[in-house]
Structure 1
Amino acid sequence: MTPLAAIIAGRIRATGPITLADYMEICLLHPRHGYYATRDPFGAKGDFTTAPEIHQMFGELCGLALAQAWMDQGRPAPFILAEPGPGRGTLMADMLRAIRKAPGMAEVARVVLIEASPYLRQVQRDRLGTVTHLDHVEEMPDKPLFLMANEFFDALPIRQYQRTGEGWCERMVGLSDKGLRLGLGPVVQLPREGQPGDVVEECPAAPAIVESIAHRIASHGGAAIFVDYGGWNGYGDTFQALRNHAPEDPLAHPGEADLTAHVDFAPLTAAAIRAGAVASRPIYQGDWLLSLGAAERAERLAASGDTGAMAALRRLTHPDEMGHLFKAMAIWPQGAPPVPGFDALRLHADHA
């Protein structure tokens, strides 16, 4: 039993089973034993590899998309260049290199990183130099906001509900003789259709975060791009753990494995529209990157001696790799040109 497993078991004995959301938050963010508080989880020596760690072209293309949106909106200055969940700072470093192609943009950007882990904050400072760290998106200044979030929402705590013959019951983490286990709580009212055995997931924090971002963009200008794996409407059990680049039981090693779930883009788009911004429909990551010129960029890099560029292109864009598993969506102000690669989604804000 890991140290954090013992802490969680003690809490359950004292107060009863906990929600999956509570379990995820403890496992990822416990100040002493939490996953993100104690390690660098990225890359070959970590537990997973994200798109920015695969190749520089991902971050460069993201930066160029935001740069075009900045120019399309009249080059507002100063502005906030933000990233929630910035990992090692690799994506932001690549974006900053790219936006220097837009004359004057880098000089008026204030880099803001939303990061809860003290360990990763130091990693980011070592890589990027002077940046502003915040704990929450809601703390960002009221200025034009250009934001990129890659694999941020998948790590936010979720709640799961399973349909039984009596109705929907929340899935809870409790105890058995062998340790932590999943079980069902009492019947709850959930406005969802379903058959016995169906599972539905909800992420309470995600729509509020998107609404805060979208409100700033609608009021002050800017754009946001979200890239994550997921789908639409949140049906199915996608709660998962990754340790040493291999899947495992999410309850097996609390605090020592990355915990994630697929992102439900439906409430995110509805939240953006509710806040007064324009939201795109989610599109495949591969299609979006190719529309920005990923193939041409990879060919130029390969011609200049980058032996990994073409393999990275396939991994980032091919349907059998990350190309279809990951989706991208964007938000921008009413009346502004779309963010490059995206089209507006016609969805009423009440369709949450």
Structure 2
Amino acid sequence: MGQPHGVGIVGLGVILDAYLATLAEHPGIRIAAVADLDASRAEAVAARLRDSRASTVEELLTSDDVETVLDLTTPGAHAQIALACARSGKNHYGEKPLAATLADSRAVVDAAARAGVGLGCAPDTVLGTGVQTARAVVDAGLIGRPTAAVATWVSAGHEAWHPHPDFYYLPGGGPLLDMGPYYLTSLVHLLGPVVAVTGSAGRLRNTRTIGSGPRAGEVIPVEVATHVAGTLEHAGGAISTVTVSFDAPGTRARPIEVYGEEGAVSVPDPNTFGGDVELLTRGGTSWETVTPRAGFVDSSRGVGLLEMVGAAGLGDAPAQARASGAVGLHVMEVMTGLLDSASSGRRTQISSAPARPDLVPLTEAATWRGLS
């Protein structure tokens, strides 16, 4: 495999351990440096890792042994880190959304292209066997021509469990920008890019109360829509409807269903990598579970970064990562379009048109973990 690919991590919050489960022991990756606004947190994380060091953000971005920056900061900082990566000639792979605004997202994509560096964006959950097997079912024509899809995510909000939930209720947050990327990215993989959207949005209340941790009982402001519903028109002719909400306890709706002229496929939670894919065909009386036929098996967060740098067992680094900045920008434009439509009362055209990402072949965990 050659020398391990040097990675630096910026932002060491709640999601960090999910990435370390994939990256920390991968033989093709070396986590060279970690940085956080809390220097003591960076020191503690570096001590857990082999051959890693605590760093400032500025030092990390100029370090010769860091080739790719994994950006786990809050949404408001994504553009700043990504643009700095472009200036430093480093690849950037970030948590979703690509940036807090559409303008910043476009600036990030343009800067990466000018600098000739790689740009990837979560979610990479869509590269697991759940969404990818459903994609393989659609591509194989088992539901006939796709006509529609329904995607639903509902919860009471993250303040009940997250110790510092403020950013979920500030620009760059809300259920659409927080959870929407899982569902919208899945729909792009399943049905291709979106050409127009129509949306509605609301806000149940203007404050939230933190329910756990050292700030329990603290009231925080809500500045974004907390319930968004919309319709997506895909370039291929299918129409998707999407609902994301922080304003209700939950739902029994399936996360995603895709309908075609000859059948329907039920897609598992796109915030996970696996789960059962179920198929109902015309004339059938019951949903049948589909054996996994595509995607990274038993994968976890960080596999998108591995694929981007050529360490996921699929060969050399691709010209266009499957969890790409282009798809991240498109999803950001779709989300912004839904909110713009909700505000204006008019249908919104979507200008970006990324290529539908390639299907991930069925890839066993030992392969993408670099063990075979």
TM-score over 0.5 (shorter chain): no
Query: Which TM-score applies when normalising by structure 2?
Result: 0.30
Whose helix fraction is larger, Structure 1's or Structure 2's? Answer: 1
Query: Which TM-score applies when normalising by structure 1?
Result: 0.31
